Structure 1
Amino acid sequence: MRNILIVCTGNICRSPMAEGLMAAALPGRDVSSAGLGALIGYPADPVAKELMREKGIDIDAHRARQISLDMCQRADVILVMERNQRRAMHERYPFTNGKVFQMAGQNGQDVPDPYRRPREVFQASLAQIEAGARHWVQRITKASSR
């Protein structure tokens, strides 16, 4: 698994934070993010940038991108934040069936969208993303060592 794509709605809050965490934990792999309804060209949300800076991860250069057919074809695994995003991926790109999973799916939970919400909501979402990232880093590392 060399190419990991992380998807949320606007690609300015959840997926950039997840991308930063996963990229830091999986050096040498292509970790990217996109949105199903991206705010194309927008930077990551200021609260997301601040929380990631506190973890020693810089996402200042991030700019939101809209998901595309090419991105989905290149991805070995696609991680989404919500069940409805997983369904949307399968509807738009049926060939992704079998490689789209929820970021925090091991807990059976959706990661709530913190967009335009207080810092505490961002922190709660980030805590779920971190737990999901630990799970996926372990799975990807294990799968790659076979």
Structure 2
Amino acid sequence: MFDRILVVCTANICRSPVAEVLLKEILPNHTVESAGTMVSASKLTNASAHHYSLQVCAEHGFDLSCHAARQLSPELCAQFDLILVMSHDHIEEVAQLSPGSRSKTMLLGQWIGQGDIDDPVHQPKEAFDSLFRTLVRATDAWVQKLT
């Protein structure tokens, strides 16, 4: 039903790459990718994951070293069955970019009672540690709904 999952955040360097690697680990028979709504505008196309995202993932046995940030596009949205976003604003941004994708766009934090998952980009490493824990809970909850 949802074999192809796209995870979306703003710059595709902090939140969505971490959620992508977590979902890939627990859903090995699914296609899971990520993108950002403001990658091009932020001049981050092909940027690596944020150094704290890389560090936190490595501490938990996940490798983000091959990540390259990419811009969300209507064509990309069309390729996926489910689009998981980090905030209510992202839902609106996806809907504006690809109106037909609105019905398949949902909050990543929905099943853990968390509307928005905040961007830790300019915060200390502890914020990324907290983000990782939140994303583990959120991705685990999604996996329970999808399997």
Contact 2:73/2:97 (8 A) holds in 1: no
- What whole-Å deviation, never above 9, does each CA across 1:95-138 have from its counterpart, x for those lacking one? 01221001102213211101121011112222221111011111
Aligned structure 1 segments of 4 or more residues deviating by more than 6 angstroms? none
User: What's the counterpart of residue 113 of structure 1?
Assistant: 119
Equivalent of residue 53 in structure 1, options 50, 58, 61: 58
How far, CA to CA, are the matches of 1:129 and 1:110 in structure 2? 12
How far, CA to CA, are the matches of 1:49 and 1:138 in structure 2? 26
Equivalent of residue 133 in structure 1, options 119, 123, 139: 139
TM-score by length of 1: 0.92
How far, CA to CA, are the matches of 2:144 and 2:77 in structure 1? 22
Instruction: Could you tell me which runs of 5 or more consecutive residues in structure 2 were left unpaired when the two chains were aligned.
Output: none
Secondary structure at the residue paired with 2:70?
Answer: coil
User: What's the counterpart of residue 37 of structure 1?
Assistant: 38
How far, CA to CA, are the matches of 2:11 and 2:144 in structure 1? 27
How far, CA to CA, are the matches of 1:55 and 1:93 in structure 2? 35
User: What's the counterpart of residue 144 of structure 1?
Assistant: none
Identity %: 34
How far, CA to CA, are the matches of 1:60 and 1:138 in structure 2? 28
How far, CA to CA, are the matches of 1:52 and 1:97 in structure 2? 30
User: What's the counterpart of residue 83 of structure 1?
Assistant: 88
How far, CA to CA, are the matches of 2:96 and 2:38 in structure 1? 15
Query: How far off is 1:73 after superposition?
Result: 0.5
Greater shift, 102-111 or 70-79, is seen at 102-111
Instruction: Could you tell me which runs of 5 or more consecutive residues in structure 1 were left unpaired when the two chains were aligned.
Output: 142-146
Count, aligned residues: 141
User: What's the counterpart of residue 9 of structure 1?
Assistant: 10
- What whole-Å deviation, never above 9, does each CA across 1:2-59 have from its counterpart, x for those lacking one? 1000000000000000000000110021100000001211000111011111111101
Secondary structure at the residue paired with 1:98?
Answer: helix
Contact 2:14/2:50 (8 A) holds in 1: yes
